[in-house]
Amino acid sequence: MRKRYSHNIWNPHCLIGSPGATVVPELFNSFLKWESMYFGMVDYVTKGSNFWTEHFSAVQAEVPDPDDPSTMLDLSPNGLIQTLKKADMILLAGEARDFCVYNTLKDIVDNFGEENIQKFAILEDCMSNVFPTTPIPDQFYESLKQKGVLFVKSTEILK
């Protein structure tokens, strides 16, 4: 157990197969346009497929299940972290800046190597906190700024 939080019982939300787990139509249509323009594929990363453990992070469960590889950190050549290392720039956004975005980014950064950290661009206007004051993520994001991670608005990044 990683002991990042006290135990909480969360209301069911963003369940696989529900509208809460999908990409909003405007963004989805932009992804389709990008795919056809650049002959690429958006790699949608899902999480939360193990009912018995919390998945704040898209990289690993809060309490990994040794019988379920989807709950464990994947450092294989085709895993998410290794794939991201090949990218020139990584745009990061998502709901729950203080939980899901924070934990996903922390797990990646902890396994990414200092030489890759500056590839991130955090889209500040594309995330919000679940709780108004959560100091740990704020300290973490500030440390990333000190390491040269770009914090930018979505309307400015691709100009």
pLDDT digits (tens, 9 = 90+) for 27-79: 899 999 999 999 999 888 888 889 888 888 999 998 999 999 999 999 999 99
Residue 1 has pLDDT above 60, yes or no: no
Mean of the per-residue pLDDT values of the chain: 88
User: φ and ψ at 143, to 5 degrees?
Assistant: -65, -35
Those residues with Cβ within 8 angstroms of residue 64's Cβ, 6 or more apart along the chain or in another chain: 53, 71, 72, 73
Task: Determine the pLDDT at residue 60.
Answer: 94
Determine the residue type at 76. Answer: S
Q: Looking at residue 12, what DSSP letter applies?
A: P
- Work out the pLDDT band at 137, boundaries 50, 70, 90: confident
pLDDT digits (tens, 9 = 90+) for 107-127: 999 999 888 999 999 999 989
Q: Which helix (H) or strand (E) holds 83?
A: helix 80-85
* Domains in the chain, CATH or no CATH each: 19-157 (3.40.50.850)
Residue 3 has pLDDT above 80, yes or no: no
Task: Determine the pLDDT at residue 2.
Answer: 61
Instruction: In whole angstroms, give the CA distance from residue 104 to residue 60.
Output: 8
Instruction: In whole angstroms, give the CA distance from residue 127 to residue 91.
Output: 12
* Residue 113 φ/ψ region, left for φ over 0, alpha for ψ in the -120 to 50 degree band, beta for the rest: left
